[in-house]
Structure 1
């Protein structure tokens, strides 16, 4: 598997993690837990932005990775 594929797969996983954290935050009865899940979700969002930036860089530097 190429580095590009690994980064894309990681981004897809992070999307799932972000959705799970959001669900946990919404469904938790404990306000402290809600805040912790929400904070973690925001951190994952930042990581996702960094991964997307890296994917864009890879697509720019390696034309074979550009989406059709």
Structure 2
């Protein structure tokens, strides 16, 4: 598996984790838990953004990885 494939797989996993954290924040009745889930979701969003930039960089450097 290539580095680009690994990064894209990681990105997909993080998007799933973000959705799970979002759902937990919405469904939780404990205010502290809601805040914790929401803050964690925001952290994951930042990481997702960084990985998307990295994927763009990888695809620019190695065009054969684009869209895979």
Bucket of the pairwise TM-score, normalised by the shorter protein? over 0.9
Residues 1-68 of structure 1: pairs in structure 2 closer than 5 A: 1-67=1-67
Identify which of structures 1 and 2 has the higher relative contact order when contacts are C-alpha pairs closer than 8 Å and 6+ apart: 2
Alignment TM-score, normalising by the size of structure 2 = 0.96
4+ runs of 1 displaced by more than 4 Å?
Answer: none
Q: Give me the CA root mean square deviation.
A: 1.1
Q: How many residues align?
A: 68
Separation (CA, whole Å) in 1 of partners of 2:23 and 2:66: 33
Unaligned ranges ≥5, structure 1? none
Separation (CA, whole Å) in 1 of partners of 2:12 and 2:63: 21
Unaligned ranges ≥5, structure 2? none
Separation (CA, whole Å) in 2 of partners of 1:27 and 1:5: 33
Alignment TM-score, normalising by the size of structure 1 = 0.96
